[in-house]
Amino acid sequence: MATPLIAILNGPNLNLLGTRQPEVYGRATLDDVEALCAETAEQVGLAIDFRQTNGEGELISWVQECRGKAAGIIINPGGYTHTSIALMDALLAVDLPTIELHVSNIHRREEFRHHSYVSRAATGVICGLGVRGYAVALVAMADLILGE
Ligand code: CA2
């Protein structure tokens, strides 16, 4: 059996990880996160396609492209979490196991971050574990799709 592919999609401003607001997002860069994901994916028998975009349309196109290609989606939608019905619709349409991930605990932050449109399309949600949450999400995804 081919190694299942997991799309790890990152939304706006996540390219700034590790450069600003370390008290909120920590000191790891997005390259560090990609390396952590690659290492964890190998350990749990998954392959990854790791991406970041600042564009809502591009993020939605990437979700649509997962159909027939990816076995699951791990998504940190950044600020689009709280605003994008279109992203939620794309995730509902693609109908794959989906884990929504946030580095920070959005429920301890401003009121406007407490609501997520994306959660309606997510199998599960991880937040507040820092960038370790990406590794946790990959282990959970392996459980979901490989039944481990
Ligand atoms: O905690 C998360 O992972 C978020 O998805 C990050 C988003 C924020 O809008 C969400 O509410 C929660 C922001 C993207 C990261 O932005 C940065 C800005 C400066 C420095 C580092 C990251």
Sequence-separated (6 or more) residues with CB below 8 Å from residue 16: none
**pLDDT tens, residue by residue, 6-59:** 999 999 999 999 999 999 999 999 999 999 999 999 999 999 999 999 999 999
Instruction: Answer yes or no: are the C-beta atoms of 45 and 71 closer than 8 Å.
Output: no
- Give the pTM: 0.98
* CATH assignment of the domain containing 89: 3.40.50.9100
**pLDDT tens, residue by residue, 61-104:** 999 999 999 999 999 999 999 999 999 999 999 999 999 999 99
**pLDDT tens, residue by residue, 100-140:** 999 999 999 999 999 999 999 999 999 999 999 999 999 99
Q: Compute the Cα dihedral for 129, 135, 137, 142 and give only its sign.
A: negative
Residue nearest to atom 7 of ligand 1 (CA): 78
Confidence (pLDDT) at 1? 77
Our mutation pick for probing the ligand 1 site, out of 10, 102, 126, counting the most ligand atoms within 8 A of Cβ, is 102
Which ligand 1 atom sits nearest the alpha carbon of residue 82?
Answer: 11
Confidence (pLDDT) at 148? 52
Neighbours of 23 (CB within 10 A): 7
* Domain count within the chain: 1
Confidence (pLDDT) at 107? 98
Rounded (5°) CA angle 20-25-28: 80
- Which residue range(s) make up the domain with 77? 5-146
Our mutation pick for probing the ligand 1 site, out of 27, 74, 81, 127, counting the most ligand atoms within 8 A of Cβ, is 81
- What separation in Å is there between the alpha carbon of 97 and the centre of ligand 1? 23
Confidence (pLDDT) at 66? 98
Instruction: Give the pair of three-digit tokens for residue 54.
Output: 């600042």
